Structure 1
Amino acid sequence: MSKTFLDNLVNNPASKYGKVFAISIQVLIIIAIISFSFETEPDLKPQTKNLLHTIEVICVVIFSVEYLLRIYVAKNKLKFITSFFGIIDLLAILPFYLTTGIDLRALRALRFLRLFSIFKVIRYNRAILQFSRAIVYAKEQILLFLFITLILIYLAAVGIYYFEHAAQPEAFASIFDSLWWAIITLTTVGYGDVYPITVGGRVFTFIILMIGLGIVAIPTGIISSALTQSAEKKDDEDIK
């Protein structure tokens, strides 16, 4: 395979094979995240643990090959390695090769942000551009906002699980149980039926609450901005 083909494969989701590659990686990320989350469930059967470990090995191998391919095709290899996505790609596979007290596999959720490069293709579709500019403009941003919110909810659940699992094994038995706390905290609803009791958990909760306050206001700003820009574009076209 030529370097140009590999570059299009990993960096150009607008191409035929690039799009298939990008979607395949996203599906694999979902599988890896679900597998990692199930590993935190108590009383897993040995067969289930073996299956989850096999899935982990397969995911890491594919992620490692992808990471090396991205380094290979990068024009400035050091720049890619030290970039945001380069660091996230590395952290997605590093825990498998290093035995540490900190499990960074939850950061694989951040790799979903690569998905939005696919939406560049939409810009070249005239039919979509003609279909209500305000809605289309806001749609991409709202979809991005929802994806980031889901990622933050998942990371919040992982964080509180590690802070509170030992102190409250029943309330925070697994990451799936912790998702309820993450949702009500990040959305600032806070029913109070599940709450942290450790110092680390309370500090972490404060940080999540601050993030949640900002998240609540984002959709209103996105929609208002989209409507304003749509009106301005229409006015310019009417003048012309």
Structure 2
Amino acid sequence: MKEKLRLLVEDNTTKNGKLFDYIIQALILLSLVAFSVETLPDITNETKFYLDVFETFCVIIFSLEYIIRVYVAEKPLKYIFSFYGVIDLMAILPFYLKGTLDFRALRVFRVFRIFRALKLIRYNKALHRFHLAAKLVREEIILFLIVTAIFMFLASAGIYYFENEAQPEVFASIFHSAWWAVVTLTTVGYGDVYPITTGGKIFTFCILIIGVGIVTIPAGLVATSLSKAREIEERDDSQLE
């Protein structure tokens, strides 16, 4: 029985395996549509009732699928703490924890399984390339996040120093000033919080210049790592040939 279940959920080369994959993928997509419809402000109570019934049905199916995948996995803990394992759990957990955060939108990540179901090998290679690129650039990203956090604190403290006296309600503390630091360093600049003193404006100009660099660094890191990942992949392919 365990082997039959394993072939059903993990082997999509068989007729039953393909059918299982297609049904799960269809339910994932339909549940996302239902979740989106549920957020409409003017839906009727009858529509809400049918959406709740469909959500319950989806959760039952997804729960059974999750239990089966844990049961047939060679290393259950490895699956449970894997990317898909966490996403699969987060997709059903809110149903059993009523009144808490709703993670149903995370089901969209389960769509990645369709690459496997439809045997889209080139997309599997692309996903592998992203995974390899993430490993290559992991240290740089961690260092970048640490440096960004330092700049965030300095920006929050600096604008607090310049603007607290002039705008005590807006820049009441370094914590209150952190929102301004976020939107300024990321060059978004919503305009809801802005300096009015001369020192604050000059300081903002400096932070904006730094922000331009902060925004472009991740893009450069990702582009470089993807290029290296492709080179490694091509080299491995040539060695296999």
Q: TM-score range by the shorter chain?
A: 0.5 to 0.7
Deviations 1:46-102 (A, max 9, x none): 111111111101100100110111111112222221221111111110000102341
- Residue identity in the other structure for 1:43: D
SS at match of 2:98: coil
Alignment partners' CA distance in 2, 1:44 and 1:21 = 32
Q: Which residue of 2 aligns with 1:114?
A: 113
Partner residue, 1:46 = 45
| Matched residue, 2:21 | 22
Corresponding residue number in structure 2 for 1:96: 95
Counterpart Cα distance in 2 of 1:31 and 1:88: 17
TM-score, normalised via structure 1 length: 0.53
- Listed as ranges, the matches of 1:55-74 within 5 Å are 55-74=54-73
Q: Counterparts in 2 of 1:118-137, with a 5 A limit?
A: 118-119=117-118, 121=119
C-alpha RMSD over aligned residues = 4.3
Aligned counterpart, 1:163: none
> TM-score scaled by structure 2?
0.53
**Partner secondary structure for residue 12 of structure 2:** coil
1:75 equivalent in alignment to 2:74: yes
Name the residue aligned to 1:86: 85
Equivalent residues in 2 for 1:129-208, closer than 5 Å: 141=126
Deviation at 1:122, TM superposition (A): 6.1
Give 2:23's aligned amino acid. Answer: S
Relative distance call for 1:197 and 1:107 in structure 2 (3 A) is farther
Structure-2 change in CA distance of 1:197 and 1:98 (3 Å)? farther
Shift of 1:118: 2.8
> Which amino acid letter does the alignment assign opposite residue 55 of structure 1?
F
Extract unaligned runs of 5+ from structure 1: 124-135, 146-189, 199-205
Matched residue count: 166
Q: Deviations over 1:107-132 (max 9, x none)?
A: 1111112222235x466xxxxxxxxx
Q: Distance in 2 between matches of 1:52 and 1:197?
A: 38
Distance of aligned partners of 1:197 and 1:87 in 2 relative to their CA distance in 1, 3 Å threshold: farther
Q: Percent identity?
A: 40
Aligned-partner Cα distance in 2 for 1:79–1:141? 23
> What SS does the aligned partner of 2:32 have?
helix
Q: 2:24 & 2:45 partners in 1: Cα distance?
A: 28
Cα distance, 1:196 vs structure 2: 10
Contiguous gaps of at least 5 residues in structure 2: 131-187, 194-210
The superposition leaves residues 189-239 of structure 1 with CA deviations (integer Å, 9 ceiling, x where unpaired) of: x9x9xx7969xxxxxxx9xxx69x849x87xx78xx59x959x96xx99xx
Cα distance in 1 between the residues matched to 2:113 and 2:13: 13
Q: Which residue of 2 aligns with 1:105?
A: 104
How far off is 1:140 after superposition? 6.5
| CA shift in 2, pair 1:196/1:41, >3 Å | farther
Equivalent position of 2:33 in the other structure: 34
Q: Where has structure 1 moved over 4 Å in runs of 4 or more?
A: 195-198
DSSP-derived class of the 2:40 partner:
coil
For the residue of structure 1 that corresponds to 2:13, the secondary structure is coil
